A and B are shown apart, each in its own frame.
Chain A
């Protein structure tokens, strides 16, 4: 059964500059115990997507489409129901843990807070559960009495993960949980998330700009560009043999140590991700694409099947498909 299913999800912000389409029709599916990576650069809509699932966006954002979580339509749910789903059904780990924790409360109390709100337990039981959670994420129980400033960046990120686990959710949305952390701390946090997902059968949606991290820690990956998914498939396959030129560039941005092809040969794309208010016509990637052909500025692209449970939104994939089909 699918745990989370997005159908044609779109997020549009109203602003002084007019309507800003941040997410433009995303359909995704995540099963129980499955891990899905969302890859993309700043402004591609990946964070808006995560916030839209739990309806955490500001009033200036208009969300359309469907968000089905355990067969419940969240976009139509009452606020009371949403409060119950957040934390207990699905929880979010944000990047930059120092801004997500309250500086004047002890971390034990902060972890206990959602437990007290979501289950009928005494404060003592909640506090006990909080220390258990701390131990689960590899922090000594005594740290429950610490304030956020007394912890290092990696420890604070562990606290965020402990909070996300507090109400035993079925789904965790992790938005760049390791950005800004050192490689070794990043490895510690990713290993922790991986173990927890495997042990508890939790669904994981992991959002990152680093495709190599997603390939190593997720089963499937979806690559976003300018608010849409441009490629989807089994994570390692997508990273090793990308079908969309943008995925190829993103994969090359994180070279593999020991790979002769990238030695003294950094590869990148010219230009920047597009401004959502002035999206290019046709395939939104065409101005930066080395493989662009005449039809790309006007082509209407969609996710075409690219074999092995994969799909990619590139006219070259479509052409390969029609050739293979005869």
Chain B
């Protein structure tokens, strides 16, 4: 069992590098130094564009990818990569994928789909009750009615519920959901998100939700970590980060939302850059609107943006942090002007 206060799942200095393709290729640094904590009963959103490494990070947290450096800890202990240890670990930490149709075997009944996990883990006693309870916790009630259904007889939302029931059948501590509603119809999404929230409230589950959708994060997450090119560039309590983002990248992501209040959206040029060629200095600087507009120059830190890499963000839970030279300079300015005694008012 986990200790009361400690994180249930954490990453420390996590790096995952993929071998180059061909002789001339360069290695891809998909995850390039990440510290992250997930506490019991907490929903953390991992946000970023495709290619930012968020899916690789999720897979590494699940033990599906072995880190090149750093470690994943579960309940305070480093993850062991022996077959039996991983099997035990995966009972605790379950994956939910984007496309329920692809996750379910079309020839298996709902009962078989949900019972598969418990069978692998040798939980044979009370199997029927276990399956029924998992299905009803996933909102498929009465569960017996769904036992003999096949995936094609179910709607998209119901299929995703079966996938979630399959995860719940093992009584996990953590769910890792990779774009859990991206392939569902718009009107059905809310129901599945509400289910994830309810599981957190009723069972105390933790969840890591990987998504590119900031609106979804706003809907369900307690904390958010924004990823760019393998690093977390901004993290903290969700409302604080999304309401007053400090990192130019987060600001840009928020400004292009259709319902953004920002007058002039910051549309970054180009595609997200390549993890085989991570820029020197701040990894965001070639696309940074604060550097392009001269704001960084005015603050006297433009050279540092181009040449000096930023330290990893700590996994601190209640603090909003941004890996940005400009944000750091502004914060230092604010605190020094606050610390300096105010000039006496003119008489």
User: Is A182 within 8 A of B267, CB to CB?
Assistant: no
User: Is A41 within 8 A of B187, CB to CB?
Assistant: yes
User: Is B187 within 8 A of A269, CB to CB?
Assistant: yes
Partner of A262 from B50, B192, B197, B218 at Cβ < 8 Å: B218
- A40 nearest CB neighbor, chain B only: B186
- B253 nearest CB neighbor, chain A only: A183
- B13 lies within 8 A of chain A by Cβ: no
- B52 nearest CB neighbor, chain A only: A182
Contact bitstring B121-159, A, C-beta under 8 A = 1, else 0: 000000000000000000000000000000000011100
User: Is A187 within 8 A of B256, CB to CB?
Assistant: yes
Partner of B271 from A185, A211, A213, A259 at Cβ < 8 Å: A185
Report B5 CB to chain A, min CB distance, Å.
23
User: Is A268 within 8 A of B219, CB to CB?
Assistant: no
- A215 nearest CB neighbor, chain B only: B258
Q: Which of B201-253 contact A (CB under 8 A)?
A: 212-216, 218-220, 239, 242-243, 252-253
User: Is A271 within 8 A of B155, CB to CB?
Assistant: yes
User: Which one, A13-21, A247-255, A305-313, is touching chain B?
Assistant: A247-255
Q: Which of B65-109 contact A (CB under 8 A)?
A: none
Q: Which of A223-269 contact B (CB under 8 A)?
A: 246, 249-250, 252-259, 262-269
Contacts of A259 in B (CB 8 A): 218
Report A287 CB to chain B, min CB distance, Å.
12
| Residue total for B at the interface (Cβ-Cβ under 8 A) | 42
Report A47 CB to chain B, min CB distance, Å.
14
Partner of B50 from A42, A182, A209 at Cβ < 8 Å: A182
Given contacts A154-B271, A268-B192, contact A212 B157 (CB under 8 A): no
- A2 lies within 8 A of chain B by Cβ: no
- A273 lies within 8 A of chain B by Cβ: yes
Within the assembled complex, what's the spacing in Å between the Cα atoms of A42 and B265? 29
User: Is A215 within 8 A of B272, CB to CB?
Assistant: no
Question: Most chain-A CB neighbours within 10 Å: which of B156, B190, B194?
Answer: B190
Contacts of B212 in A (CB 8 A): 182-183
Within the assembled complex, what's the spacing in Å between the Cα atoms of A254 and B192? 14
Given contacts A187-B256, A210-B186, contact A257 B218 (CB under 8 A): yes
User: Is A182 within 8 A of B49, CB to CB?
Assistant: yes
- A64 lies within 8 A of chain B by Cβ: no
Given contacts A187-B267, A263-B239, contact A41 B185 (CB under 8 A): yes
**Total inter-chain residue pairs, C-beta < 8 Å:** 127
Contacts of A184 in B (CB 8 A): 49, 252-253, 256, 267-268, 272
- A239 nearest CB neighbor, chain B only: B259
- B329 lies within 8 A of chain A by Cβ: no
Q: Which of B255-287 contact A (CB under 8 A)?
A: 256-261, 265, 267-269, 271-272
- B303 lies within 8 A of chain A by Cβ: no
User: Is A188 within 8 A of B215, CB to CB?
Assistant: no
Given contacts A184-B252, A216-B259, A258-B261, contact A266 B271 (CB under 8 A): no
- B169 lies within 8 A of chain A by Cβ: no
Report B191 CB to chain A, min CB distance, Å.
4
Contacts of A41 in B (CB 8 A): 185-187
User: Is A258 within 8 A of B155, CB to CB?
Assistant: no
Contact bitstring A83-125, B, C-beta under 8 A = 1, else 0: 0000000000000000000000000000000000000000000
- A43 nearest CB neighbor, chain B only: B185
- B185 nearest CB neighbor, chain A only: A41
Within the assembled complex, what's the spacing in Å between the Cα atoms of A191 and B259? 14
- A272 lies within 8 A of chain B by Cβ: yes
Partner of A268 from B187, B253, B257 at Cβ < 8 Å: B187
What residues make up the interface of B, taking CB atoms closer than 8 Å to A? Answer: 49-50, 155-157, 185-194, 197, 212-216, 218-220, 239, 242-243, 252-254, 256-261, 265, 267-269, 271-272
What residues make up the interface of A, taking CB atoms closer than 8 Å to B? Answer: 41-42, 152, 154-155, 182-188, 191, 209-213, 215-217, 246, 249-250, 252-259, 262-273, 288
A-B contact pairs, 17 of them (CB 8 A): A41-B185, A41-B186, A42-B185, A154-B271, A182-B50, A184-B272, A209-B185, A249-B187, A253-B187, A255-B216, A257-B215, A262-B215, A266-B219, A266-B220, A268-B191, A272-B156, A288-B187
Apart from the given pairs A211-B186, A212-B258, 16 other A-B contacts in the complex at a CB distance below 8 Å: A184-B256, A185-B271, A186-B256, A217-B258, A249-B187, A252-B190, A253-B189, A254-B215, A257-B242, A262-B219, A264-B220, A266-B193, A270-B191, A271-B155, A272-B188, A273-B187
